[in-house]
Structure 1
Amino acid sequence: MTVVSCPTCGKKVEWTEKNKYRPFCSERCKQIDLGAWAEEKYTIPAANPTDKQDDPLADE
C-alpha cells in the first residue's frame, strides 16, 4: 500500500480508491489547496523572451 503526505497539512494518507480526497487527508485540506490556487498563491515560473527570435508568437 502506498502512503503519501497530505500536501496541505503533511498528515500521512493511504493512496487507495476508498480515500476520495487523495492526495489530501480530508475535504478541508482539499478546499484549502483549491483556495490557494484561486488566490494565485501558487505560480509556475516562466521565462520572458528577450529577443524577438526567441518568441515563437512574435511573427504572428
Structure 2
Amino acid sequence: MTSSARSGPARPCPVCRKAAIETFRPFCSKRCADIDLGRWFNEDYSVPASSGDEEEKIAASLLDPREFME
C-alpha cells in the first residue's frame, strides 16, 4: 500500500492552499512550514485549556480509573 493510499485524499497546504508535498507535509514548502511555526510562536494559534474541575477528574482517573467512569 502506498503512503498516499493510507493517508487518504491529498489536502492543500494550510498556509497558501497549494498542493502539499510529502517532504513538507502538510505544507507545500519549508517557507509555509516556517510561517505556520511563526504563528504558533506568536500565539496566533492556541489550544483551549480545560477548567480545574476537569483536570481534577482526569488526575483522579489516573489514580483510580473506576472513579472517572462514574
- TM normalised by structure 2 equals 0.56
- What is the percentage of aligned positions where both structures have the same residue? 43
Partner of 2:11, secondary structure, is strand
**1:1-60 residue pairs with structure 2 within 5 A?**
1=4, 2-14=9-21, 19-49=22-52, 54=53, 56=56
Q: What do residues 9-60 of structure 1 show as CA deviations (whole Å, max 9, x unaligned)? A: 111225xxxx3111100000000000000111111112434xxxx2628xxx
How many residue pairs end up in the alignment? 49
RMSD: 2.0
- TM normalised by structure 1 equals 0.64
Q: Which structure is higher in helix share?
A: 2
Q: Which structure is higher in strand share?
A: 1
The amino acid of 2:41's aligned partner reads A
Q: CA deviation at 1:3?
A: 1.4
Could you tell me which runs of 5 or more consecutive residues in structure 1 were left unpaired when the two chains were aligned: none
Q: Which runs of 4+ in 1 moved over 4 A?
A: none
The amino acid of 1:32's aligned partner reads I
Could you tell me which runs of 5 or more consecutive residues in structure 2 were left unpaired when the two chains were aligned: 60-70
Q: Which has the higher contact order (CA 8 A, sep 6+)?
A: 1
Q: CA deviation at 1:7?
A: 1.0
